[in-house]
Amino acid sequence: MTGAQIIVLATPIFLALIALEWFVGWRRGRNTYRWNDALNSIGLGILSQVTGVFGRLLRIGIYVALYQHVALWTLDAGAWWVWVFGLVAYDFCYYWNHRLGHTCALFWAAHVVHHSSEDYNLATALRQTSSGFLFGWIFYLPMAVLGVPPLVFATVGLIDLLYQFWVHTQQIGRLGAFDRWFCSPSNHRVHHAVNDRYLDKNYGGIWVVWDRLFGSFVEEDDREPIVYGTRAPLRSWNPLWANLEVYAALARDSWHTRAWADKLRVWFGPPGWRPADRIAADPRPAFSLQRPRYDPPVARGAQALAIVVFGGVLASTTAFLWNAHLLSGLQQVAGAAAIWGGLMLVGALMTPRAPAVTASAAAPH
């Protein structure tokens, strides 16, 4: 069974848990969902999986080649301890991948997609990048060198990813001793915050112990409610733009800045850093925790049509991912293009011709 097929089988569970979380929040009077943001998040997850059909060839292919020709030794996939070691090693590599995703602009350009929602719920967990495969594989090459078999690598990577679904919720509070060792809802809420106190903390995928070891751990503080999103908000339901916005901004600054050193630093410096000449020529709005969330009003007919189209896209994606390994390259490209087009239509239907931003609660929420 392929990884894509496992995701297909898990999708009904994801959607059922999203529905349960919405119901619990509604009963508690603390609903954390908006229909437009949730559709956008799930749609970006769909695009990530569809694009991953092509990206896995790069990620797994390079890993297998390195494992076959460079590995210091070959670990036995039949030994239980190899699987435990593989999971711990993967999560350690993930920590550094994730940390660089917040401290280097090039990696942030991919990872920003996951943080672009101004809500925080289980749908946010599905909000994944479609460009992470370009450079993310670099961080896991030490596992190939250490002889972790490709089957173990692929499986523990899927386990690490699936684990992180449940921590994207505001409906589960502190978990005591569990919070000290593991990535938990409380710890991961901190990670998605834009408050100064919380910014760029708690990178661990399964274990938060890495954050404690390397100085990036901060506890959630009830005295400072969390504000979610990014400091440069997306303000769009367009899934293509969500994946390209930061790349485009980096390319503009790199092209127009005068100093050659700055042209390179734009890409490899910290996210948000800009050359002085670009700040002067193209200033950006100051960051504020009190900003309103992006929530343009949409006619009921457009809402209904967007939901119907989205349902069709979801069904098409299920069929595509289940059969992707049986399709020719041209069929894969055609199927992926149709799904991308459907989600672009959903985004367009959720965006009025003259977008307006409501003053609905920015945060805390």
What would the pLDDT profile of 185-238 be if each residue is shown by its tens digit?
999 999 999 999 999 999 999 999 999 999 999 999 999 999 999 999 999 999
Residue 4 has pLDDT above 90, yes or no: no
pLDDT at 354: 58
Which structure tokens are listed for 275? 């050359």
| pLDDT above 50 (res 48) | yes
Q: How high is the pLDDT of residue 358?
A: 41
What mean pLDDT do residues 247-252 have? 98
Mean per-residue pLDDT for 135-141?
A: 95
Q: Is pLDDT at 364 greater than 70 in this prediction?
A: no
User: What does the pLDDT look like over 317-336, one tens digit per residue?
Assistant: 999 999 999 999 999 999 99
pLDDT tier at 58, thresholds 50, 70, 90 = confident
Supply the pLDDT for residue 362: 35
pLDDT of residue 357 exceeding 70, the answer is: no
Examine the pLDDT at 70 and tell me if it is beyond 70: yes
Segment 260-308, tens digit of pLDDT = 999 999 999 999 999 999 999 999 998 999 889 999 999 999 999 999 9
Cβ neighbors of 226 (< 8 A, separation 6 or more) are 120, 189, 190, 192, 193, 195, 198, 220, 363, 364
For residue 348, which amino acid is it? Answer: A
Q: In the predicted model, what is the mean pLDDT of the chain? A: 94
Look at residue 359 in the predicted model and tell me its pLDDT.
Answer: 37
pLDDT band, very low/low/confident/very high, at 132 (cuts 50, 70, 90)? very high
Tokens for 216, please give them.
Answer: 């990036």
CA-derived radius of gyration, the chain: 21
pLDDT digits (tens, 9 = 90+) for 79-117: 999 999 999 999 999 999 999 999 999 999 999 999 999
Phi, psi of 183, deg, nearest 5: -65, 125
pLDDT at 365: 39
Query: What is residue 363's predicted lDDT score, i.e. its pLDDT?
Result: 37
pLDDT the model gives residue 342: 97
Residue 36, pLDDT > 50, answer yes
Looking at per-residue confidence, does 285 or 120 come out higher? 120
CA angle 296, 298, 301 (to 5 degrees): 165
Report the pLDDT averaged over residues 131-138. 93
pLDDT in tens, 259-271: 999 999 999 999 9
What percent of the chain has pLDDT above 70? Answer: 97
What per-residue confidence (pLDDT) applies to 361?
A: 35
Indicate the length of the chain as a whole number: 365
